[in-house]
Amino acid sequence: MKITFLGGGNMANALIGGLVGKGFAAADIAAVEREPDNRAKLEAAYGIRTYAGPDAEAWNCDLIVLAVKPQQMKEACAPLLPHLRQQLVVSIAAGLRLADLSRWLGGHRRLVRTMPNTPALIGAGVTGLYALPEVDAAGRAAAERVLQAVGSTLWIADEALMDSVTAVSGSGPAYVFLFIEALQQAALDLGFAPEQARQLAIETTLGAAKLAAQSAEPASVLRERVTSKGGTTAAALAKMDECGVLAGIVAGVIAADARGRELGELLGKD
Ligand X SMILES: NC(=O)C1=CN([C@@H]2O[C@H](COP(=O)(O)OP(=O)(O)OC[C@H]3O[C@@H](n4cnc5c(N)ncnc54)[C@H](O)[C@@H]3O)[C@@H](O)[C@H]2O)C=CC1
Ligand Y SMILES: O=C(O)[C@@H]1CCC=N1
Contacts with ligand Y by CB under 6 A lie at 94, 166, 170-171
- Shortest CB 75 distance to ligand X, Å: 6
- Shortest CB 94 distance to ligand Y, Å: 4
Residue 43's alpha-carbon distances to 19, 100, 116, in angstroms, are 14, 32, 22
Sign, CA torsion 38/21/200/206: positive
- Cα separation, 266 vs 270, in Å, equals 7
One of 3, 15, 32, 150 touching ligand X (CB under 6 A): 32
- Shortest CB 244 distance to ligand Y, Å: 23
Find the residue with minimal CB distance to ligand X: 9
Strand partners, 111: 89
Give the number of other Cβ atoms within 10 Å of residue 177's Cβ.
Answer: 12
DSSP for 19-32, please give it. HHHTT--GGGEEEE
Which one-letter DSSP state was computed for residue 107? Answer: T
68 known member of a binding site: yes
Strands of the sheet containing 151-155, edge to edge, are 49-51, 29-32, 3-6, 63-66, 88-91, 111-115, 125-131, 151-155
- Cα separation, 198 vs 184, in Å, equals 6
SS3 state of residue 67:
coil
* Rounded CA Rg of the chain: 21
The answer to whether 151 contacts ligand X (rule: CB under 6 A) is no
One of 118, 153, 164, 184 touching ligand X (CB under 6 A): 118
- Cα separation, 10 vs 3, in Å, equals 17
User: Which segment (64-72, 199-207, 237-245, 253-261) binds ligand X by CB under 6 A?
Assistant: 64-72
Is 54 or 125 the residue whose CB approaches ligand Y more closely? 125
The answer to whether 169 contacts ligand X (rule: CB under 6 A) is no
Name which of residues 77 to 116 contact ligand X (CB under 6 A): 92-94, 115-116
Is 35 or 203 the residue whose CB approaches ligand X more closely? 35
The answer to whether 10 contacts ligand X (rule: CB under 6 A) is yes
Burial 140-157 (b: 16+ CB within 10 A, else e): eebbbebbbbbbebeebe
Name which of residues 12 to 31 contact ligand X (CB under 6 A): 12
Find the residue with minimal CB distance to ligand Y: 170
One of 19, 33, 101, 201 touching ligand X (CB under 6 A): 33
6 known member of a binding site: yes
One of 30, 42, 48, 67 touching ligand X (CB under 6 A): 67
Is 142 or 256 the residue whose CB approaches ligand X more closely? 256
Applying CB under 6 A, the residues found at the interface with ligand X are 7-12, 32-35, 38, 67-70, 72, 75-76, 92-94, 115-118, 170
Which positions make up the binding site for NADP(+)?
6-11, 67-70
